[in-house]
């Protein structure tokens, strides 16, 4: 595993097309695209890293996975009355389907759907309490009290987040917002501004892997369902492409991070800030394609006899 990650980091460093950094959140616009990190936390307790695996980055939409877990914890299956479970086939910030579908977002990973999950775990609490709950969940999952939110990133997104404001008000017009819209947006921007490095994100992702000896933060059924949604919706209009190339559930963020789950085996975090045309990390996606090819890990079956298989602990 360590040799594989070293190879993957070297391939990323040698790739001259790093993709384009997101500029619509001013605080993210100045980040050097020439950075790459990867970490693998295995179900049997192994931890492997390569590249800039200790460099913190803004997890952005990867946070929607933790937000969904919290929202499910609050209201269970009732969440599905307010948000769907289908891919949208549109960009993460699109408003297009919301009008046609009466203010019910297609899934919890596009921005409109994530605003509903944020509204759900915020409901009945102050933004400070809700964000405290979110941080406690992430810290418990990663077993790391050093995980924080970057206030400057949150402020920067709140100041320029006209699209998310439009989405939230549109949801409110369809009676699909329970809390004050500004409070939901403030909470959402802070949620997206959680900072982690690849090592921390891989460790946090273990709550979606069957990890013996680790306290279960979500039930088996919820874990399977969150993984299913990551596979079908985790990369927006690039979800089919990611499933085809990588074959494992993943959730991306415009900060360039991707959390990938190999159920029963490992959580993998990869980060490179340059994005592809879908708004997902370009080098991160390519790295995961190489990782899946070299390990043979896929939820769609094992490689034929003689094919590459990499055991979690090797």
- Residues forming contacts to ligand DON in the complex (CB under 6 A) are 60-61, 92-93, 111, 157, 164, 192, 252-254, 279-280
Q: Active-site residue 20, yes or no?
A: no
- Please say which residue, 87 or 211, places its beta carbon nearer to ligand DON: 87
Q: Active-site residue 61, yes or no?
A: yes
- Please say which residue, 79 or 254, places its beta carbon nearer to ligand DON: 254
Of 110, 105, 79, which is closest to residue 93 (Cα–Cα)?
110
- Please say which residue, 1 or 261, places its beta carbon nearer to ligand DON: 261
Element (H, E) at 237: none
Q: How many CA atoms lie within 13 A of 126 on its CB side?
A: 2
- Please say which residue, 5 or 270, places its beta carbon nearer to ligand DON: 270
The one catalytic residue among 121, 170, 188, 278: 188
In the complex, what is the shortest distance from the CB of residue 33 to ligand DON, in angstroms, rounded to a whole number? 15
- Contacts for 116 with CB less than 8 Å, ≥ 6 apart: 71, 79, 82, 83, 105, 108, 171, 176, 177
- Please say which residue, 35 or 111, places its beta carbon nearer to ligand DON: 111
Q: Do β-strands 266-271 and 37-42 pair in parallel, antiparallel, or remain unpaired?
A: antiparallel
By beta-carbon distance, which residue lies closest to ligand DON?
A: 61
Of 92, 25, 41, which is closest to residue 234 (Cα–Cα)?
92
Q: Active-site residue 21, yes or no?
A: no
Element (H, E) at 245: helix 239-245
The two tokens of residue 74 are 């609050």
In the complex, what is the shortest distance from the CB of residue 167 to ligand DON, in angstroms, rounded to a whole number? 9
In the complex, what is the shortest distance from the CB of residue 283 to ligand DON, in angstroms, rounded to a whole number? 14
The one catalytic residue among 21, 209, 218, 254: 254
The one catalytic residue among 61, 63, 252, 262: 61
SS3 per residue for 4-70: HHHHHHHHHHHCCCCCECCCCCHHHHCCCCCCCEEEEEECCCCEEEEECCCCCEECHHHHHHHHHHH
Q: CA-CA distance, 79 to 70, in Å (whole number)?
A: 11
In the complex, what is the shortest distance from the CB of residue 143 to ligand DON, in angstroms, rounded to a whole number? 25
- Please say which residue, 19 or 84, places its beta carbon nearer to ligand DON: 19
The one catalytic residue among 121, 170, 236, 278: 236
Q: How many CB atoms lie within 10 A of CB 128?
A: 10
Q: Active-site residue 64, yes or no?
A: yes
In the complex, what is the shortest distance from the CB of residue 74 to ligand DON, in angstroms, rounded to a whole number? 21
Q: How far is CA 211 from the centre of its chain?
A: 19
In the complex, what is the shortest distance from the CB of residue 170 to ligand DON, in angstroms, rounded to a whole number? 14
Residues involved in catalysis: 61, 64, 188, 236, 254
């Amino acid at each position: 595993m360590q040799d594989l990650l070293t190879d993957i980091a070297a391939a990323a460093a040698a790739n001259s097309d790093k993709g384009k950094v997101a500029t619509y959140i001013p605080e993210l616009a100045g980040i050097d695209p020439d950075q790459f990190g990867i970490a693998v936390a295995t179900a049997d307790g192994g931890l492997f890293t390569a590249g800039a695996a200790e460099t913190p980055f803004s997890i952005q939409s990867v946070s929607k996975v933790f937000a969904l877990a919290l929202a499910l914890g609050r209201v269970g299956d009732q969440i599905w009355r307010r948000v769907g479970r289908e891919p949208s086939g549109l960009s993460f910030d699109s408003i297009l389907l919301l009008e046609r579908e009466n203010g019910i977002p297609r899934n919890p990973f596009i921005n409109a759907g994530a605003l509903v999950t944020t509204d759900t775990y915020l409901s009945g609490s102050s933004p400070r309490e809700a964000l405290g709950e979110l941080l406690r969940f992430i810290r418990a999952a990663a077993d790391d009290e050093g995980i924080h939110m970057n206030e400057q990133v949150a402020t920067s997104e709140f100041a320029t987040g006209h699209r998310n404001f439009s989405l939230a008000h549109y949801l409110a017009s369809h009676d699909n917002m329970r809390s004050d819209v500004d409070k939901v947006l403030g909470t959402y921007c802070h949620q997206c501004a959680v900072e982690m490095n690849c090592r921390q994100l891989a460790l946090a992702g273990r709550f979606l892997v069957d990890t013996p000896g680790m306290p279960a933060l979500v039930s088996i059924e919820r874990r399977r369902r969150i993984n299913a949604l990551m596979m079908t919706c985790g990369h927006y209009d690039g979800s089919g492409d990611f499933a085809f190339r990588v074959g494992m559930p993943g959730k991306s963020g415009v900060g360039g991070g991707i959390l990938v789950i190999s159920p029963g085996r490992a959580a993998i975090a990869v980060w490179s800030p340059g994005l592809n045309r879908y708004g997902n990390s370009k080098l991160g996606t390519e790295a995961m394609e190489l990782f899946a090819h070299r390990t043979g890990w896929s939820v769609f079956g094992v490689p034929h006899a003689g094919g590459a298989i990499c055991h979690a602990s090797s």
